[in-house]
Amino acid sequence: MSEEKADMSTISFEENLRFSIKSEDASKYSFEEVVKLLESDAKYGLSWSEADDRIKTYRFNEFSVNQQQSLLEKYFEQFKNPLILLLLASAFVSICMQQFDDAFSITAAIIIVVSVAFVQEYRSEKSLEELNKLVPPTCNCIREGNAETFLARNLVPGDIVQLSMGDRVPADLRLIESVDLLIDESSFTGETEPVLKTTQPVLGKNNGVASKRNIAFMGTLVRCGKGCGVVIGTGERSEFGSVFKMMQAEESPKTPLQKSMDILGKQLSMYSFGIIGLIMVLGWFQGRPIMEMFNIGVSLAVAAIPEGLPIVVTVTLALGVMRMAKRKAIIKKLPTVETLGCVNVICSDKTGTLTKNEMTVTSILTSEMYEGEFTGVGYEPKGQLLVHDEGKSYLKQLDSMKLVLEVGSVCNNADVIDGELRGQPTEGAVITAALKISLNDVRDKYIRLQEYPFSSDQKLMAVRCIVKLNNNEKYFVKGAIEKVLNYCTHYSYHSESMLLNVERKSTFLKAAQFFGRKGLRVLAMAYGDKLDELVFVGMVGILDPPRPGTAEAIRTLHGSGIKVKMLTGDAEETACAISSRLGLYAFGSTAMSSDEIDNLDDKELEARISSVSVFYRVGPRHKLRIVKALQNNGHVVGMTGDGVNDGVALKKADIGIAMGKAGTDVCKEAADMILIDDDFYTIMGAIEEGKAIFHNIRNFVTFQLSTSIAALSLIAFATLMRIPNPLNAMQILWINIIMDGPPAQSLGVEPVDHDVLKQPPRNVKQPMITKELIFNVLLSAGIIICGTLFIFKYEMSDNIVTPRDTTMTFTCFVFFDMFNSLSCRSQVKSVFTIGLFSNKPFLFAVFGSIIGQLLVIYAPPLQRIFVTEALTIYDLLLLLAISSTVFIVSELKKFIYRVSLKRRKRNEVYQNHFV
Ligand code: ATP
């Protein structure tokens, strides 16, 4: 670690604060001293009132985004655009030539154009800022002796914070407890290996993050183990604060779409400049006034060059992301939105995503093969145990079942208090079942010495305890049945240990399969003096019902060409039973186990993976291989995950999807999208939005390009045909506002057309500007040019242009633009099908523009600026009739397209049936 970092830590604490302690000192002192210095208590923490007091001095544990530039500065930044500078120059020339009217008009136009650009850019910045606030981090903190969970921004120095596997460290902490605590500090040090943390003071000269082994730094990730620490630095006074400041300086990278829009904008600018140059030279040769040609040229450049395009794209993407957030899907980075519409395979885990993750033990089977059923659902300990064979001694059966649940409760970290679960659902289900048969305080009979935590790779958990009664040491184990049986040498039979032979083992495995076929998750229990000589006591079957709406979502996704694959840690029978219920495991699809995956090399896996829809007993390693194999087959993969170890697979997937509730911070960090409610249905909604956003962007690109081409060509044709210019500079600038402003922007917020989801995923390589789009643009532009020129020629007599002529032409163009924007709302559907009034912002934008246009025609001050004249109602009706042609033709074109599409589909069905 560089000296520089060390220096940062020394300046990151302000001396005048009451509890000012440098991380250097905090790491040298013992933790007791640090806690004392901070006037806190390792067990009790701070009181709520003290914390409230401290927050007044230390402020919230967050970073204020620098207001590096004032709004005024940002506004004046817009004037740096070379085109605007040219316009300013033209206003200046007008003043020098004492043409004050012109100078005033141009200045007014500049102010309007600059203001629209400023508002757009400001909105885009604001919405990007909002994105960062969507997933506020939480923390586990001790206040007044109780474990509390609240927003990490409320932490103050002196708070006692608990850390567990998968957490993101919420503030700089001096550790006071560390149990195998491994922390990933790569965000600071670049070192990918996690660091083992201690609580011991670090002696000698220490500088840099890496040497402070007893400090957990804000923003780093707990990879393994657990710990506890006292907060020594929050917000900008943490080490992360300095890194944050550096990060702020860096601009976030542009999305592929934004990049391609930039390129498109540049290309269009080049063409436009070429044409404008030509128009000006031609006009000059024709002997038109130089000043007029200059003004028209510059205004055309402002209007025709779609400088607003990249910004409108950013705003549309950002607004789309906000809408997704309302639908409970948080998108962390803008590029994700583009990829969403391309996803063609979703690998989903079962528990919590496809199922509710509300676990209830419904069945129990002891090693004596006594069977029972539990009534009741959820974590309310209301329900009964019904034993199957009441002929046998009930008490004996009950004792055996109690033993199963006692082992399950001791080897357990969950708590169920007043029907509320604290901990893992699988473990909570076991505790609830134990409570139903009055096993209330079994854990008090033991002192836990050690825990071997559950991992998706091992699929079991074990604890080593001392039995208080006789001081004997015992192991208690629970987990997947085949894993548990691997450690068992005996099984319990009426309080005796019998040798576990192959036959018995297979009987237990068959019983587990029977549970599995009913869709139950199986959890086996064993205990013993030694870990490799355990006594098997029985198993429970846990019901986790499918989420409502999931089957329907899967059907819709299948219908739109997106394959859904289930990846689960559960056994084959359970996985297949649930997936059949969800319509995932249909005729022709197969299931594959983790062992099979291990036995296949990458090429073999790629060859077989397409037909597999259920992967069972898989761990994080397998998930990664599955994603890679699918990607190598050319798929765009969305992958869900919740555990610490899912991080790698989530990163590798094209869209990593983390669970908001069950997901660890590590997993959320690696993901591109977070599902707030862990619901699979949300993924479908997000894909729908992703596709819709892309459609919307295509729609306003079509609109902007057609307006831009029409305006350019109109002036170019007029110059070529040696007729006067149909639009003056001010009018062209007004058209620019409509093109880049509200009507274009509101096309970007067109509500999701649910039929969009039925369309197959977009090919990632498909460019935005397709042949179809070019055709649509040219068609609309062609109609606008013909219609406007017609009106101009119709009005003009003897090549003399009166204000009435330009007013008619100008209004005609604006009306054309309004109708054109209306038809651009959908490329395929009729506007009447999607609903004339379904896009409210669009309605406001169009009405606003029309009112603006009427003001320009009828309000005397504006008449002077725009050189316009009042029109009669008959004029307006004529213009409406002519300009509506662009809408009528577009509706006709869409109709023909729909009919031919239907015919093509019918032919396909016919061929499939009879050929
Ligand atoms: P899914 O992929 O469907 O969400 P998962 O990957 O979360 O499932 P795991 O949690 O890895 O699945 O569970 C796999 C198996 O491990 C379960 O079938 C169960 O037998 C066992 N198991 C699950 N949770 C625990 C636990 N807390 N303690 C012991 N064993 C467990």
User: Which among 124-138, 400-414, 583-597, 713-727 has the top mean pLDDT?
Assistant: 400-414
Nearest atom, ligand 1, residue 521 CA = 18
| pLDDT, mean of residues 375-389 | 87
Query: Number of folded domains in the chain?
Result: 4
The answer as to whether 101 is a domain residue is no
Distance CA 308, CA 120 (A): 8
The answer as to whether 875 is a domain residue is yes
Residue 67, pLDDT score: 53
- If one residue of 459, 481, 567 were mutated to test the ligand 1 pocket, choosing by the most ligand atoms within 8 A of its CB, it would be 459
Q: Are 738 and 817 in contact (CB under 8 A)?
A: yes
**Atom 5 in ligand 1: which residue has the minimum CA distance?**
569
Strand partners, 546: 355
| pLDDT, mean of residues 455-467 | 89
| pLDDT, mean of residues 719-742 | 77
**Atom 13 in ligand 1: which residue has the minimum CA distance?**
569
pLDDT-derived band at 901, boundaries 50, 70, 90: confident
Nearest atom, ligand 1, residue 479 CA = 30
- If one residue of 422, 478, 523, 582 were mutated to test the ligand 1 pocket, choosing by the most ligand atoms within 8 A of its CB, it would be 523
pLDDT-derived band at 374, boundaries 50, 70, 90: very high
Distance CA 578, CA 591 (A): 12
One domain for residues 539 and 552: no
Nearest atom, ligand 1, residue 574 CA = 18
Distance CA 465, CA 480 (A): 21
The answer as to whether 247 is a domain residue is no
- For residue 357, pLDDT over 60 is answered with yes
| pLDDT, mean of residues 348-370 | 90
- Confidence (pTM): 0.72
Measure 514 CA to ligand 1 centroid, in angstroms: 18
One domain for residues 615 and 581: yes
The answer as to whether 71 is a domain residue is no
Q: 4-13, 164-173, 849-858 — which is least confidently predicted?
A: 4-13
Q: Angle at CA 876, nearest 5°, toward 873 and 877?
A: 85
One domain for residues 364 and 350: no
One domain for residues 313 and 342: no
pLDDT-derived band at 650, boundaries 50, 70, 90: confident
Q: How many CB atoms lie within 10 A of CB 913?
A: 7
- For residue 696, pLDDT over 50 is answered with yes
| pLDDT, mean of residues 368-377 | 92
Distance CA 315, CA 311 (A): 6
**Atom 20 in ligand 1: which residue has the minimum CA distance?**
480
Instruction: Give the 3-state secondary structure percentages of the chain, helix then strand then coil, rounded to 5.
Output: 55, 15, 30
Nearest atom, ligand 1, residue 617 CA = 14
Residue with tokens 């599995």: 516
Computed over every residue of the chain, the mean pLDDT equals 83
Residue 638, pLDDT score: 92
Residue 120, pLDDT score: 65
The answer as to whether 151 is a domain residue is yes
Q: 96-110, 523-537, 612-626, 768-782 — which is least confidently predicted?
A: 96-110
Question: Which of 517, 543, 569 delimits the end of a domain?
Answer: 543
| pLDDT, mean of residues 732-753 | 78
The alpha carbon torsion through 659, 663, 667, 669 (nearest 10 deg) reads 80
- For residue 269, pLDDT over 50 is answered with yes
Positive or negative torsion for Cα 425, 427, 428, 430:
positive
List the CATH number of the domain containing 851.
1.20.1110.10
Q: How many CB atoms lie within 10 A of CB 174?
A: 28
Q: Are 117 and 312 in contact (CB under 8 A)?
A: no
Give catalytic residue positions: 349
Nearest atom, ligand 1, residue 568 CA = 2
Q: Are 303 and 733 in contact (CB under 8 A)?
A: yes
List the CATH number of the domain containing 587.
3.40.50.1000
- If one residue of 350, 407, 454 were mutated to test the ligand 1 pocket, choosing by the most ligand atoms within 8 A of its CB, it would be 454
294-303 pLDDT per residue, tens: 767 776 776 6
Residue 2, pLDDT score: 38
Strand partners, 62: none
How would you classify the pairing of strands 215-216 and 496-499? unpaired
pLDDT-derived band at 1, boundaries 50, 70, 90: very low
**Atom 17 in ligand 1: which residue has the minimum CA distance?**
570
Measure 516 CA to ligand 1 centroid, in angstroms: 13
Question: Which of 212, 238, 264 delimits the end of a domain?
Answer: 238
One domain for residues 629 and 533: no
**Atom 29 in ligand 1: which residue has the minimum CA distance?**
479
List the CATH number of the domain containing 179.
2.70.150.10
407-430 pLDDT per residue, tens: 999 999 888 888 888 778 899 999
Nearest atom, ligand 1, residue 481 CA = 20
Measure 363 CA to ligand 1 centroid, in angstroms: 17
**Atom 30 in ligand 1: which residue has the minimum CA distance?**
479
The answer as to whether 55 is a domain residue is yes
The answer as to whether 83 is a domain residue is no
Measure 525 CA to ligand 1 centroid, in angstroms: 14
- For residue 250, pLDDT over 50 is answered with no
Residue 694, pLDDT score: 83
| pLDDT, mean of residues 462-490 | 94
One domain for residues 387 and 407: yes
DSSP codes joined into one string, 147-185: EEEEEGGG--TT-EEEE-TTPBP-SEEEEEEEEEEEEE-
Residue 12, pLDDT score: 38
Distance CA 340, CA 327 (A): 15
Measure 447 CA to ligand 1 centroid, in angstroms: 25
**Atom 26 in ligand 1: which residue has the minimum CA distance?**
454
| pLDDT, mean of residues 722-735 | 79
Measure 459 CA to ligand 1 centroid, in angstroms: 6
One domain for residues 163 and 50: yes
- For residue 108, pLDDT over 60 is answered with yes
Binding pocket residue ranges, ligand 1, CB within 6 Å: 349-352, 424, 426-427, 454, 456, 459-461, 478-480, 521-523, 567-570
One domain for residues 259 and 163: no
Phi/psi for 225 (5° steps) reads: 75, -170
| pLDDT, mean of residues 362-372 | 94
Q: 96-105, 248-257, 597-606, 857-866 — which is least confidently predicted?
A: 248-257
pLDDT-derived band at 670, boundaries 50, 70, 90: confident
| pLDDT, mean of residues 738-745 | 74
Altogether, the residues listed in the chain come to a count of 915
Measure 686 CA to ligand 1 centroid, in angstroms: 27
One domain for residues 335 and 205: no
Higher-pLDDT residue of 124, 38: 38
Distance CA 189, CA 611 (A): 43
Higher-pLDDT residue of 525, 196: 525
- If one residue of 570, 582, 675 were mutated to test the ligand 1 pocket, choosing by the most ligand atoms within 8 A of its CB, it would be 570
Question: Which of 180, 203, 238 delimits the end of a domain?
Answer: 238
The answer as to whether 96 is a domain residue is no
Residue 467, pLDDT score: 93
**Atom 22 in ligand 1: which residue has the minimum CA distance?**
479
Nearest atom, ligand 1, residue 570 CA = 18
One domain for residues 266 and 205: no
* C-alpha closest to that of 540 among 563, 574, 565: 574
Query: Residue 658: enclosing H or E segment and its boundaries?
Result: strand 655-659
**Atom 24 in ligand 1: which residue has the minimum CA distance?**
426
Q: 152-156, 185-189, 363-367, 414-418 — which is least confidently predicted?
A: 185-189
Residue 15, pLDDT score: 41
Q: 106-110, 514-518, 728-732, 758-762 — which is least confidently predicted?
A: 106-110
Measure 617 CA to ligand 1 centroid, in angstroms: 9
One domain for residues 878 and 729: yes
One domain for residues 763 and 889: yes
Q: 85-94, 536-545, 784-793, 868-877 — which is least confidently predicted?
A: 85-94
- If one residue of 346, 361, 407, 426 were mutated to test the ligand 1 pocket, choosing by the most ligand atoms within 8 A of its CB, it would be 426
Measure 619 CA to ligand 1 centroid, in angstroms: 10
Residue 8, pLDDT score: 34
List the CATH number of the domain containing 442.
3.40.1110.10
Structural domain including 635 reads 329-355+546-678
Measure 570 CA to ligand 1 centroid, in angstroms: 6
Distance CA 427, CA 360 (A): 10
Nearest atom, ligand 1, residue 349 CA = 2
Measure 648 CA to ligand 1 centroid, in angstroms: 19
Q: 100-104, 339-343, 547-551, 743-747 — which is least confidently predicted?
A: 100-104
Nearest atom, ligand 1, residue 424 CA = 27
